[in-house]
Structure 1
Amino acid sequence: MASRLVLAGAAVVLVCAVQAFVLPGAPAPARLRGATEGSSKPSPSLSIAGVAATTAAFGVAAAFAKTRSRPAKTAAKYTTQTILPSLAWIKTGVKASELQPTELRALTLAGNDVLIGKTEAGALFCVGNLCPHIGTPMSEGADVIGDVIVCPLHGSSFQVSDGQLIDWCVSPPVIGPLTGLIVEKKNLLVFECRQGGFLGSGEVEVLVDTNAKKAYEANYWKGLLDAQGKDDGTYY
């Protein structure tokens, strides 16, 4: 639509330029006829007007050519293709010997929020740092009792070995159970971990999905694009 308007404007300016130059044998405009009668010299005003109109016409044409060669600003498109997991062992920078029983350390590994720690018996474990209830960080005051971790906000408890749910939103009384009704019960995310180095003497390593962040973003864009257009980044 914009290119059509530019072409139309250029055409109008060109017509004005032709009309400004009085062709041989053509009658002069009425408003200029009196000024030119009795004089054999061409009117300077006509030449100046013609040159100005012609210059304007070439300027419009040049601007149109420039806009045609300019790259589009909306060339980037997002995709919602299925992102498959890519598992890898990531070093945490923490040695198991540095952790005391029931101690917890929060880390972000390849976009994954994890929590490494030890049970009361000293067994190493790694779980998701966010409680599956409303995403409360377990690192903000969670308790490790035996081989169970307890959420600091509503008292939900999980087995650290497999993430199995034990109690769901048990505290504070009345309020905790009511908040638990609005979210479906879920297990805690668990990550496989190990001690690297010779005979397990090195730092703790955790097996994580390095594509987890990409997969999350793909689902986000899918929801966004479904509301605005097709889920492949194009529009209807």
Structure 2
Amino acid sequence: MAMEVAFLAPSVSQPAVAQHMGTAPGPQPSSGFGMKLAAGVCSAAAAVGLASSRKRSKTAARYTTQTILPSLAWIKTGVKASELQPTELKALTLAGNDVLIGKTEAGALFCVGNLCPHIGTPMSEGADVIGDVIVCPLHGSSFKVTTGELIDWCVSPPIIGPLTGLIVDKKNLLIFECRQGGFLGSGEVEVLVDTNAKKAYEAGYWKGLLDAQGKDDGTYY
């Protein structure tokens, strides 16, 4: 008679076996513990941010524009005085300055600003030289070429000219000192100009834009 022998293995749970085989992670924190940890981290970050904001101080915006000082220099024009006839005019741009060199009816050399102080009409586009006076081709304003002194302001055409003159304050014409270089003045004409004039204008332009938003010292109107 055959005998059956049963071998009973000890009862072992699946988690224990898995842990023994190295296929299951160790003890995990409960979901409640994880939520508490996350909340603690957020609270700490908020506290740090609040402390940082209390330490920071507001810095007032300050707008500044550079002060450009004049820098005068003699600039050669490439033109000899002998090449200019009486009452003849020649427009040039020297270091950012629009100038007009010419001769009076008596043949005296002069240099003035090429733009009429009324509305910026180029004098070189048809201005007349009468004696030592230059007359703007657009509205007939006239100036002494030796001093820039205003003689007549917007006299033509009738009615329209004087009306246009009312919108701009009367001004003298800009003049420049000039000379003939070379031995005994036989060389080309030289003009004394401010080489920083363009930079000074641009600095004032940007300051004006800042004033449109707020004062250039950082305050407001």
TM-score by length of 2: 0.70
Q: Does 1:202 align with 2:204?
A: no
Give the Cα–Cα distance (whole angstroms) in 2 for the partners of residues 23 and 103 of structure 1: 101
Q: 1:182 aligns with which of 167, 190, 198?
A: 167
SS in 2 for 1:199: helix
Superposed CA deviations along residues 112-153 of structure 1, whole A, max 9, x for unmatched, are: 000000001100000000000000000010000111000000
Q: Does 1:101 align with 2:79?
A: no
| Cα drift, residue 89 of structure 1 | 0.3
SS in 1 for 2:120: coil
* Aligned position for 2:50: none
* Aligned position for 1:26: 28
Give the Cα–Cα distance (whole angstroms) in 1 for the partners of residues 125 and 112 of structure 2: 14
RMSD: 2.2
Give the Cα–Cα distance (whole angstroms) in 2 for the partners of residues 203 and 78 of structure 1: 45
Give the Cα–Cα distance (whole angstroms) in 2 for the partners of residues 178 and 230 of structure 1: 34
* Aligned position for 1:63: none
* Aligned position for 1:169: 154
Give the Cα–Cα distance (whole angstroms) in 2 for the partners of residues 135 and 23 of structure 1: 87
Higher helix share: 1
What amino acid is the match of 1:25?
A: P
What amino acid is the match of 1:104?
A: L
What amino acid is the match of 2:166?
A: L
* Aligned position for 1:228: 213
Q: 1:125 aligns with which of 110, 121, 140?
A: 110
Structure 1 gap segments, 5+ residues each? 1-21, 30-76
Give the conservation status (yes or no) of the 8 Å contact 1:151–1:157: yes
CA gap 1:113/1:25 in 2 versus in 1, 3 angstroms: same
Q: Which has the larger radius of gyration?
A: 2
What amino acid is the match of 1:118?
A: K
TM-score by length of 1: 0.66
Q: Does 1:211 align with 2:213?
A: no
* Aligned position for 2:98: 113
CA gap 1:222/1:23 in 2 versus in 1, 3 angstroms: farther
CA gap 1:23/1:197 in 2 versus in 1, 3 angstroms: farther
Give the conservation status (yes or no) of the 8 Å contact 1:78–1:221: no
Structure 2 gap segments, 5+ residues each? 1-23, 32-61
Give the Cα–Cα distance (whole angstroms) in 1 for the partners of residues 25 and 116 of structure 2: 86
Superposed CA deviations along residues 166-191 of structure 1, whole A, max 9, x for unmatched, are: 11000001100111111111100000
* Aligned position for 2:125: 140
Give the conservation status (yes or no) of the 8 Å contact 1:101–1:118: yes
What amino acid is the match of 1:137?
A: P
